[in-house]
Amino acid sequence: MDLYTLHKAHVLTPWSAQAALNPPLIVRGEGAYLVDQEGKRYLDLTSGLVAVNLGHGHPRVVRAIQEQAQTLCYAPPSFFHDKRALLARRLSELSPWPEGARVFFTPSGTEANEDALKMVRTLTGRFKVLAAYRSFHGSTHGSSALTGENRRFAAEPAVPGALHFFAPYPYRSPFYTLDPKEEVARALDHLERVLLHEDPARVAAIFLEPVVGSNGVIVYPEGYLEGVRRIADRYGILLVFDEVMTGFGRTGAPFAAQRLGVLPDLITFAKGVTSAYVPLGGVLVREGLARRFDQEVLWAGHTYSGHPLAVAAGLAAVEAYLEEGLFERGRLLESWLKEGLGALWQKHPFIGEVRGLGAFFALELVKDRSTKEPLSPWHAPLSPAMQGLVRALLREGVYVMAKHNILIIAPPLTLKEAELEAGLAALDRALRGLEVEAG
């Protein structure tokens, strides 16, 4: 049996590989490229799942993992460990709070949100939590309950007390506005009404992705996050930013909180902290709040909390970001992406909107710009047109994550300009092919 058939026969794959896309069988990674079993190279324009921020095979991180594996592969989370302490100090220095932060390590982003949910309930003594409809926060029951889109349905009924609200989405306004200022005003009014109906004294926290990630890279209009912060403060509610996608340089700063200038109380992270080489996530809690856990029991913990291989990889990755100026490089990529994707928008009527921040962009594809009818419906598998586009890109040797009618363009922060140009030329041809087919 060839390896491809072997994989299909024995591995249960997630929803994203179930469409008839015949994904390639990957055996190697080199910088911005994935290499399949036949040696074909794929330029990875989404950094895996917006995670491999340093590209594949960064020597410093690989070396750190090798050295750690030779020294110690496991230490119980209740023991102290050198690299846990060193990485936690680094993360506190990188955090947006002048007071610093303490870190609770988890194996993944899902568990970071799961534990943040426990923390905000413990810290406030309240149990309700609010999150946005167009959000993803993870795949366990608590994080699914926070999630606002269809990936939560399989977990329902999930955890009681998690409620949703609409956040701004200027391209398809849930508030029927065309003006970003009006959108912000209505969205904040809506949020406060939801709160008042739920009784703010029962609400522990508001969870938000500061830039919506897998549900379309929606950059909130100016004033929204500031307004959410004000509302949270008015009612003594904690604000949690889920920076699993936006953290570690994705938006042109260590965290989006810094790029956007709004301070939450907790930040959940994963992915980019090790450039996804080893699973690691965590919750950053600002020092003033974290101190409470000196008295209060934190009923949380995982066999793999702060796994030595993971924290060694995280420490080396953070040093690489700092030394190579990669936390800021997202801003350079932003200027290239704005220009390159903007030029594609000029040419291709299937592109309804180009939006993004830092090295984090989306193309929202439509059948028709005037009606904005999506190229693939929201609560359904990828339409034949979207599947055709993804297949055409794979034939071209380009990987771009597709969800519904959204293509996410989030290349490694180390991407070279010529690599991006080649990727955008392939995208141009694939979109042209789609348009020829549609007549």
Residues that bind ligand PMP (CB under 6 A): 49, 108-110, 113, 136-138, 209, 213-214, 242, 244-245, 270, 281
Going 424 to 425 to 429 to 432, the CA torsion angle's sign is positive
Tell me whether residue 35 is exposed, middle or buried, using C-beta atoms within 10 angstroms of its C-beta: 0 to 12, 13 to 18, 19 or more: middle
List 363's β-bridge partners, or say none: 354, 407
Give the residue with the Cβ less far from ligand PMP, 68 or 147: 147
Q: Map residue 354 onto helix, strand or coil.
A: strand
Give the residue with the Cβ less far from ligand PMP, 345 or 378: 378
CB of 48 to ligand PMP, least distance (A): 10
Give the residue with the Cβ less far from ligand PMP, 148 or 281: 281
CB of 376 to ligand PMP, least distance (A): 19
CB of 138 to ligand PMP, least distance (A): 4
Give the residue with the Cβ less far from ligand PMP, 164 or 348: 164
Copy the structure tokens of residue 408.
Answer: 């996410």
Copy the structure tokens of residue 87.
Answer: 């990485």
Q: Which long-range contacts (CB under 8 A, 24 or more apart) does 191-197 make?
A: 191/130, 191/165, 191/167, 191/228, 191/231, 192/231, 194/130, 194/163, 194/165, 195/130, 195/231, 195/235, 195/237
Give the residue with the Cβ less far from ligand PMP, 138 or 412: 138
Copy the structure tokens of residue 267.
Answer: 């930040």
Across 345-396, where does the E strand assignment appear? 351-357, 360-365
CB of 245 to ligand PMP, least distance (A): 4
CB of 404 to ligand PMP, least distance (A): 15
CB of 310 to ligand PMP, least distance (A): 12
Give the residue with the Cβ less far from ligand PMP, 119 or 430: 119
Give the residue with the Cβ less far from ligand PMP, 145 or 434: 145
The residue at minimum Cβ distance from ligand PMP is 109
Q: Is 10 left (phi over 0), alpha (psi -120 to 50) or beta?
A: alpha
CB of 140 to ligand PMP, least distance (A): 8
Start-end of H helices in 131-245? 141-146, 180-198, 224-234
